[in-house]
Amino acid sequence: MTEPVEYDVVVLGGGPVGENIADRTCAAGLSTAVVESELLGGECSYWACIPSKALLRPVLARAEARRVPGLAGAVEGPLDTAAVFAHRNYWASDWKDQGQVDWLDSIGAHVYRGHGRLYGARKVAVTSPEGEHHILSARHAVVVATGTRALLPDVPGLAGARPWTSREATSAQEAPGRLLIVGGSVVATEMATAWQGLGSQVTVLVRGSGLLPRMEPFAGELVADALREAGAVVRTGVTVEAVVRDGSTGPVQVVLEGGETLEGDELLVATGRTPHTEDIGLDTVGLPAGEWIRVDDSCRVPGHDWLYAVGDVNHRALLTHQGKYQARIVGAAIAARAAGIPLDTALWGAHTATADTHALPQAVFTDPEAAAVGLTLAEAERAGHRVRAVDYDLGRVSGAGLYADGYRGQARMVVDLDREILLGVTFVGPGAAELLQAATVAVAGEVPIDRLWHAVPAFPTIGEIWLRLLETYRG
């Protein structure tokens, strides 16, 4: 074991969150070390956001082109899957992280490859792939940004059946003939859209009553309808009791409650995430291993004035853009505290995270897209707000009709009747994700409806939905 090497800040985890923290702390003049056991750039860059969207974009573009008069006949054939995979591989940097290494070097961060563990207060022990050992000591802060990994349910036979998780689903180099998907949330619906479009016969098995359960019910209904129209099978209210797979390349069988058996060439299990905290030394500082890490609004761990947990590990919002938002908050908070400056939450709220609990935006890149921010109607009612849901058929907006023939979609805004502000907004339809930022500004800024009335949407765009929702609200 070498003598401790001292830095101002040590970041455990070099994904998008850890990189953003390093960017902010280095810019503040704080010496920063980043410890990463896999690829710098993390899950989002290689196995989640980026490769999944690279797979989905051709599928969605073809689906939209088929609805455009004069173009539909030109896109009837199958996709060039080799070109799609090559494009995806490019955007995943062929699963090499030299670009991220060069970027971290350019901002002055020091990279340590290997498994990092907390080693008591303000220290991180690193074991390199070559077996070298280092102790890193932090003058001001240690930041845990280790993210999550796929959660496999305790189903007999599943562990030995070589199931796909999100990693395999986004990095596969050919389309399986038959793909069974267990789960109904974002990963399940996006990968069902992608692989059905890329030539697989997809069957989605959902334990609950519908898809996208954390969104308004109509979101899951519209996505399920579109998947079925594309040729996929969507079954709700089913429970997987066992999984059987013989050999290394044979088909996989899923046994449902009641004894029915389904067979596929691959099985994707997309039933949730679990924190990547089981072996990072939390026990050395009195915290339980393998659990989510509780933090305050500056993402600092209570009782440990030097320890922060940022991104998925704190369970506030398991989304890359929200983790990066937290990273910006944490970078500013660490820099302020290191300089002895009291945190000034009045200055743009620069040191306090609120958007990851108050105005959380999310886009699901299915066909149709689903985008939402803030509370659903049910969530607002459970929270005790006096609310009204205002709905409008997105397909009736002139811009949507020009966008595609037979445009189908739905919009809802949830209005706080006492304050006349928006608590939540949901859009479902082709291209709907591009409407999300305006809704996020309205919800996060608590913009009064009387002011929104004067934010005039351009004609003829799908954004004219705002005018129709407000007209409907006013009656």
SS (H, E, C) 376-436: CHHHHHHCCCCEEEEEEEHHHCHHHHHHCCCCCCEEEEEEECCCCEEEEEEEEECCHHHHH
How far the first Cα of the chain sits from its last, in Å, is: 72
Extract the tokens encoding 248: 């290394």
Q: Are 338 and 432 in the same domain?
A: no
Residues of the domain holding 333? 5-41+97-149+275-355
Residue 299 domain flag: yes
Tens of pLDDT, residue by residue over 97-129, are 999 999 999 999 999 999 999 999 999 999 999
Q: Are 16 and 144 in the same domain?
A: yes
**Which of 355, 381, 416 is the C-terminal boundary of a domain?**
355
Q: Are 372 and 407 in the same domain?
A: yes
Tens of pLDDT, residue by residue over 328-354, are 999 999 999 998 887 765 554 677 777
Q: Determine the average pLDDT of the residues in 345-370.
A: 81
332: which residues sit within 8 A by CB, 6+ positions away? 24, 350, 351
pLDDT recorded at residue 344: 67
With tokens 């793909």, the residue in question is: 179
Q: Tell me if residue 39 falls in helix, strand or coil.
A: coil
Counting the structural domains of the chain, the total is 3
State the maximum Cα–Cα separation within the chain, in Å, rounded to a whole number.
72
| CB 56, CB 193: distance < 8 Å | yes
Residue 25 above 90 pLDDT?
yes
In the DSSP assignment, the letter for residue 210 is S
**Which of 240, 271, 302 is the C-terminal boundary of a domain?**
271
Query: ω before 368 within 30° of 0 (cis)?
Result: yes
Extract the tokens encoding 435: 């409407």
pLDDT recorded at residue 357: 77
Q: Are 117 and 14 in the same domain?
A: yes
Residue 470 domain flag: yes
Q: Are 173 and 259 in the same domain?
A: yes
For residue 383, what is the domain's CATH number? 3.30.390.30
3-state SS track over 51-107: HHHHHHHHHHHHHHHCCCCCCHHHHCCCCCHHHHHHHHHHHCHHHCCHHHHHHHHHH
Q: How many CB atoms lie within 10 A of CB 168?
A: 17
Q: Are 169 and 265 in the same domain?
A: yes
Q: What is the pTM of this model?
A: 0.94
Tens of pLDDT, residue by residue over 289-313, are 999 999 998 999 999 999 999 999 9
Beta bridge partners of 309: 144
Q: Determine the average pLDDT of the residues in 382-405.
A: 95
Kindly list the distances between the CA atom of residue 177 and the CA atoms of 181, 201, 383, in Å, as whole numbers in the listed order: 13, 6, 45
pLDDT, averaged across the chain? 94
Extract the tokens encoding 50: 């980026």
Q: Are 180 and 320 in the same domain?
A: no
Q: Are 453 and 385 in the same domain?
A: yes
| CB 138, CB 11: distance < 8 Å | no
**Which of 297, 329, 355 is the C-terminal boundary of a domain?**
355
Q: Determine the average pLDDT of the residues in 370-397.
A: 97
Extract the tokens encoding 99: 């670009």
79: closest CA among 97, 103, 96, 54?
Answer: 54
pLDDT recorded at residue 353: 78
Confidence of residue 3 (pLDDT cuts 50, 70, 90): confident
Q: Are 266 and 286 in the same domain?
A: no
Kindly list the distances between the CA atom of residue 56 and the CA atoms of 47, 319, 365, 451, in Å, as whole numbers in the listed order: 13, 18, 7, 37
- Euclidean distance between CA atoms 64 and 171, whole angstroms: 25
Q: What percent of the chain has pLDDT over 90?
A: 90
pLDDT recorded at residue 1: 55
Q: Are 113 and 22 in the same domain?
A: yes
Tens of pLDDT, residue by residue over 27-48, are 999 999 999 999 999 999 999 9
